[in-house]
């Protein structure tokens, strides 16, 4: 990975990340393995989860500590919006008005159990959701 102009803020290290997403109506955590690059307000990367492989593209703002990303699978896209803090990135995802839920990702070196427990405390999930169909 080229390190020139990479983000230097400790909350957004480029490299291996991990985490999960869940559906609004479920406590089941669907794990993700991700590689992210943060550079000049832009995020890009790729990963895999229980749906398929995917790519990421988006923008982040370290004045407001927010991020928006689009996760692109071969079959569909998912919009992510989240907050950035010392525990990683957490927030909500949606596929239009049909499916939604929460997510939490963090740099791989951190303690996964501690990070997974923060989702319920930080993310207020919508009440109604339909399952993702691929």
What are the backbone dihedrals phi and psi of residue 102, each rounded to the nearest 5 degrees, phi first? Answer: -120, 165
pTM score of the predicted model = 0.79
Note the pLDDT of residue 41.
97
What are the backbone dihedrals phi and psi of residue 12, each rounded to the nearest 5 degrees, phi first? Answer: -130, 65
Per-residue pLDDT of the chain (134 residues; tens, 9 = 90+): 556 789 999 999 999 999 999 999 888 999 999 999 999 999 999 999 999 999 999 999 999 999 999 999 999 999 999 999 999 999 999 998 889 999 999 999 755 455 555 544 444 444 433 333 33
CB-based contacts of 19, cutoff 8 Å, min separation 6: 31, 32, 34, 88, 89, 103, 104, 105, 106, 115
Do the beta carbons of residue 93 and residue 102 sit within 8 Å?
A: yes
Note the pLDDT of residue 126.
43
């Amino acid at each position: 990975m080229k390190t020139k102009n990479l983000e230097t803020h400790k909350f957004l290290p480029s490299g291996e990340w991990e985490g999960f997403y869940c559906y609004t109506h479920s406590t089941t955590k669907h794990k993700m393995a991700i590689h992210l690059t943060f550079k000049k307000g832009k995020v890009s990367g790729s990963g895999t989860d229980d749906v398929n492989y995917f790519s990421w593209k988006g923008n982040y703002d370290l004045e407001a500590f927010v991020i928006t990303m689009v996760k692109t699978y071969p079959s569909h896209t998912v919009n992510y919006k989240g907050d950035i803090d010392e525990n990683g990135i957490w927030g909500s995802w949606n596929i239009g008005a049909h499916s939604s839920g929460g997510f939490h990702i963090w740099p791989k070196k951190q303690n996964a159990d501690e990070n997974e427990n923060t989702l319920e405390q930080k993310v207020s999930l919508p009440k109604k959701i339909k399952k993702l169909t691929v």
